[in-house]
Chains A and B, each alone.
Chain A
């Protein structure tokens, strides 16, 4: 097993910067998720790690060996990686056993060892008894497991997964997430995972790499990505968020006061990141998660508003409140008596200011 490093990796397709100066160290045994909207460069990054695409500039290291650079490219077949493709890529002309055994066959593993290893891996992913089946006789989830077994059987230095769960239905997807985690706990292989599903990234990863338009925007633990997004893109892409146009009036030691641009000029206390060259008052956006907005009786809140809509969502109530001309979204418990037209007070637990 090994660490993986990306050093200023860029990839151009024609004049399009698919990946722009990616810098990242993946620790041995870590699960890393590349998360971002389609076209953000996450799959291209994965394909460069695999060796299918060659970086235009920069280097990729597996362990301490440079495997990709503008000059040199170790071909995929010599990188000793496992990879699970979005469409599984299980070979339709080989049965389950043959699919899983293929990497070992290429490595000329003796017959008895091969049988034993293949059997072991097949039972690891829970496919015992299906060895003789052909892919067309398997469900999507089973094909997925074949692909997984095939990528693990030769004990790869790292496992690459390209949106492996996106073709499964919602229930199965959730089940597989936890199975992948269990699997990781058992074998501890470094995993690099590409997804556009934030829930998947949150559940699985040690660290999430958020990408947008070819750039790595933030690399952090799931909690930090959710709670401390670095910019409005990350804040908006992950979870739900309120964005309120404000002007920052005052700041000191990471805390500040922002004033809404609405007629009532409501003032909010918020967290402020240090930012060179910021001149007060500074225009920007206030970011607040719906669950950080508490709905209180009119007289108790720091901010006043009128409920415009309250929607029952099963476990929670999705409440829209008009505050100073801006529609806020708040999360309330279902037992609260909230209805359209009621005036309420809001208390904001946590807000972050982003410069515009």
Chain B
């Protein structure tokens, strides 16, 4: 007869009791986490302080004594700053319109606003290039022929181009934060001001705006972080104009291939990591403070919507047109190019073809290998991330072991670490120096993806687990089920949506990953992201577009499936 074990946690039962397998699983999960995250980051720090075999600050002195090293730091800050401003300028008014007014087509706007959130900025950069490349961009062509001039309207290969594309791709961070704040805000806070005698403009000034400012700031910091971490946009748009930011400078140094390059890249990575740390801690600090000021919410009163009156339709027209131009037109341009025999040809029936698709899917070895690789990597990483995330979530949420905050931090923070930094850390830790050489294999890519994306699976599964009241498990245990039987029969069915969503949330971004892949791929392991980047950079826009178009469709389908599963909850992919 099995001895009844009270409770359902890993801590109960004797060490040699029936929970020894559970303990082993938990220990394994934590070991994987340490190897995939902690070890590489420690290696990165350590190596940044080593010069000629001895501890030294020499690498950092080098960084700050050469323009080509410290200029990227400055440019990263400036680029991040301006993208953040663009993001706020777009995100705040849109959030207000969607959350607080009777603007027609709000639901539709909401979806359009999330579109850039789903698609990688690399695809955005490609698409905008097709519209605004100095000579052959669709918009520049139109402009030049309309105005009879030979000066293009706008050159995308510039600092301004980078700001524009990053701004369009980061405004959803601000949008989501502000919309959430406006919707969560208790309407009686504003009503109280009105009954005190404040007109609506005064209510906005004294109550609404001050209460939303923390959310705006938090969203802007995320936009900044996302911009500073991005590689695709500055690589496609900036390097051609000899503008280097931290990610592209690190990339260039790693590509250089020698010891000096790696050393400088390592030190620059630590600088970028510090910047990311400041931003993410700032973001959390603001959100925590805002949480501290949480308001006891009573019954939910419908939010008061501002009636736009006679401005309703004109404003709707302007907003929808603007959103169509900024989010839809690049995607449309991408699809058009994918059907053209060559980029730059006029858009007419005789120039249209399906050959690009046939070429990338069935003929061209690079894209065929890349698609296959990315699929294998995405499926493998998503599965591994769900297993790891589930084990860690169970440890943190249910087992409540000591040190669970550290476990939580080790899963959560790598998601905010710029991919470039993480990839370099992987190279330093896993290319033979410590006995294991994963370089040029799927292995190093999977470890990097796991480090970066397990968070998505973990967060979703943890959220589902929190919903499972301990009494559910206790009821199963008291009925005679052991720990694993309980997990299988009770916990697993209840958190299945979280598991599925977690899997898709890791699958989607790994499928199109570029930033880490470009540093970690080997001769046999190119990925879709790498292929897209190479093809676009080499000027094969029509082929790159076909590949991007396939990717866009897959991502949108994945997102639709995910929305079905997790309901209306907004998810990052």
Q: Which residues of A contact B (CB under 8 A)?
A: 50-52, 75-83, 85-93, 102-103, 106-107, 134-136, 140, 143, 147, 150-151, 154, 160, 163, 166-167
Contacts and interface: CB of A to CB of B under 8 A. Distances in A.
Contacts of A160: 195
A135 B296 CA distance: 10
B202 interface: yes
Given A87-B186, A91-B207, A93-B211, A77 B195 contact: yes
A76 B186 contact: no
Interface in B172-227: 186, 188-189, 191-199, 202, 206-207, 210-211
A338 to B, nearest CB: 39
Given A78-B197, A92-B295, 17 more contacts: A77-B194, A77-B197, A81-B195, A83-B195, A85-B191, A88-B296, A89-B186, A89-B191, A91-B207, A91-B211, A92-B293, A92-B294, A103-B196, A106-B198, A136-B293, A150-B192, A154-B196
30 contacts: A50-B195, A51-B195, A75-B199, A77-B197, A77-B199, A79-B195, A80-B197, A85-B191, A85-B298, A86-B299, A87-B295, A87-B296, A89-B188, A89-B191, A89-B192, A89-B295, A91-B192, A92-B211, A92-B293, A93-B211, A102-B196, A102-B206, A107-B197, A136-B294, A143-B296, A150-B192, A163-B298, A166-B298, A167-B296, A167-B298
Contacts of A93: 210-211, 293
Contacts of A79: 195
Most A Cβ at <10 Å: residue of B192, B199, B297: B192
B14 interface: no
B314 interface: no
A93 B193 CA distance: 13
Contacts of B206: 102
A193 B310 CA distance: 38
A334 B196 CA distance: 52
A290 B295 CA distance: 42
Contacts of A91: 189, 192-193, 207, 211
Nearest to A81: B195
Contacts of B196: 77, 102-103, 106, 150-151, 154
B305 to A, nearest CB: 13
A135 B191 contact: no
A147 B298 CA distance: 15
Contacts of A134: 293
Contacts of B192: 83, 85, 89, 91, 147, 150
B211 A52 contact: no
A135 B198 contact: no
A205 B294 CA distance: 33
Contacts of B198: 77, 102, 106
A86 to B, nearest CB: 4
Find the residue from B193, B194, B197, B202 having the highest chain A CB count within 10 A: B197
Nearest to B289: A136
Given A85-B298, A86-B299, A103 B197 contact: yes
Interface string B269-296: 0000000000000000000000011111
A103 B206 CA distance: 12
B181 to A, nearest CB: 12
Contacts of B191: 50, 52, 76, 83, 85, 89
Contacts of A77: 194-199
Contacts of A140: 296
Contacts of A83: 191-192, 195
Contacts of A87: 186, 188, 295-298
Contacts of B202: 106
A159 to B, nearest CB: 10
A304 to B, nearest CB: 48
A150 B292 CA distance: 22
Contacts of B296: 87-88, 140, 143, 167
Contacts of B294: 92, 136
A166 B199 CA distance: 29
Contact of A135 (B188, B197, B293): B293
B188 to A, nearest CB: 4
A184 to B, nearest CB: 19
A154 B186 CA distance: 23
B298 A86 contact: yes
Contact of B292 (A50, A136, A143, A167): A136
B94 to A, nearest CB: 24
Contacts of B298: 85-87, 163, 166-167
Contact of B188 (A75, A82, A85): A85
A175 to B, nearest CB: 19
A42 to B, nearest CB: 12
B444 to A, nearest CB: 47
A18 to B, nearest CB: 12
Contacts of B194: 52, 75-77
Nearest to B206: A102
A82 B196 CA distance: 7
A134 B290 CA distance: 13
Contact of B193 (A102, A135, A163, A166): A102
A106 B205 CA distance: 12
A37 to B, nearest CB: 14
Contacts of A150: 192, 196
Interface in B287-319: 292-299, 304
Contacts of A85: 188, 191-192, 298
A155 B197 CA distance: 12
Nearest to A102: B196
A80 to B, nearest CB: 7
Interface in B148-187: 186
Nearest to B290: A92
A281 B294 CA distance: 62
Contacts of A81: 195
Contacts of B299: 86
Determine which residue in A79, A83, A160 has the highest number of CB atoms from chain B within 10 A of its CB, and name it: A83
Nearest to B211: A93
Please indicate which of the listed interface residues B191, B207, B294 has the most CB atoms of chain A within 10 Å of its own CB.
Answer: B191
Contacts of A103: 196-197
Listed residue (A89, A90, A147, A150) with the most chain B CB atoms within 10 angstroms of its CB: A89
Nearest to B191: A52
A76 B210 contact: no
Nearest to B213: A93
